[in-house]
Amino acid sequence: MGALANREFVKMNGLGNEIVIVDLRRAPRPITAAEAYAAARQEPYDQLMALYPADGSADAAVRIYNNDGSESGACGNGMRCVAALIGAESGKTALSFATSAGLVSCWRADDDEAMYTVDMGAPRFRWDEIPLAQPVSDTRAIALEVGPSGAPTLRSPSVVSMGNPHAIFWVEDPNAYDLVKIGPPLERHPLFPQRANITLAAIAARDHVVIRTWERGAGLTRACGSAACAAAVAAARLSRADRKVTVTLPGGDLAIDWREADDHVLMTGPVEYEHKGRFDAALFADAGAA
C-alpha cells in the first residue's frame, strides 16, 4: 500500500494556486514521484504538501511535490495554506515548519484567519546557489534571449533562488506573451540544471510589480508565491522598485517585504479552504503503489 492510497486530503488555495495537503504525521511513508503524479489526476493541484513528524521545535516537516511528481524546495502559497490548517487545529497563530530549503516560519496576520505571512528566508544570488550551469558574474541580468537572433522578444532575465530557481524577464505587459509556449523550453533550458520558474514581470510603480509565471513542474499558474518574492527582490536589486511592494498575480495580490534587518523576504496573502476528499486506491495501481 502506497503513502496516498485511501488517504484523506484537504484542498485549499492561495490566490488560486491550487494546494492539496496530506497529513502523514501519524503514518509517515515516503511519496514516490509516480504517486504524486497520479494523485493530480484525481484532484488537480499545483502543489501537494505532505506533512510529516518534525524533529525539534517545528510544528511539522513538509515535503512539497509539483503536479508532475517532482519535488520543490519552496511554495509560499502552500506554506500559508499549511499554516492556516495547522493553526486551526492547534490554536497557534505562529508556527514553524521544516522543509528541504530550511526552517520556515509562518504567522497569522492582523487577527485575520484568512491572512498569513510566511518568512521565505534570504534570497540567494550566486550563480552556483541558484543554480546555473555555468559561472555568471552578475545575476541581476544574464545573457539569455528568446526569439530570433538580433531581434529577441525576451532578453536579459534576472535570476535568483528563493529555495527554488527563478528567472524573471522584464516586460511592459506580462499578458502580451504566450507563456504556455515560451515557458516549457525556458524551464528546461540547459542553463538551469534543476529547471527554473519562468516569470514575466512589469514595474507598475515603485511599490507595485505585476507578474505571470510558468511554474517549474506545475505549468501556468494563477499564483506562485516564491515567484512573487523573486520578482520583488530582483526589482529592488535593479533599483526599479522599493523593498516593500505589492505584487499582482493573475489570482490577486501578495504583499512582499524584503526586510532590511536580515534580508529575509516576508510574503503576506490570503488562503481559502475548498473541500476535503480521499484518494482512490485504484488510482495508484499504475504507479505501483496501490
- Domains within the chain, CATH numbers bracketed: 8-121+272-284 (3.10.310.10), 145-257 (3.10.310.10)
Pairing of strands 272-278, 8-14: antiparallel
- pLDDT, average across residues 174-191: 97
| Catalytic residue (one of 81, 106, 224, 229) | 224
Greater model confidence, 109 or 207: 207
Is 81 a known active-site residue?
no
pLDDT score at 20: 98
Q: How many CB atoms lie within 10 A of CB 172?
A: 8
Q: Where are the beta strands (DSSP E) in 69-119?
A: 71-72, 94-99, 102-108, 115-119
3-class DSSP state of 239? coil
Helix and strand numbers, DSSP H then E, in the chain: 4, 19
Terminal-to-terminal C-alpha distance of the chain: 5
Report field, pTM of the whole predicted structure over 0.85? yes
Residue 111 has pLDDT above 90, yes or no: no
Distance, in Å, from the CA atom of 214 to the CA atom of 233, rounded to the nearest integer, reads 18
Of 146, 204, 151, give the one whose Cα is nearest residue 179. 146
Is 224 a known active-site residue?
yes
What is the tens place of the pLDDT at every residue in 28-66?
A: 999 999 999 999 999 999 999 999 999 888 999 999 999
Residue 232 has pLDDT above 90, yes or no: yes
Distance, in Å, from the CA atom of 77 to the CA atom of 89, rounded to the nearest integer, reads 19
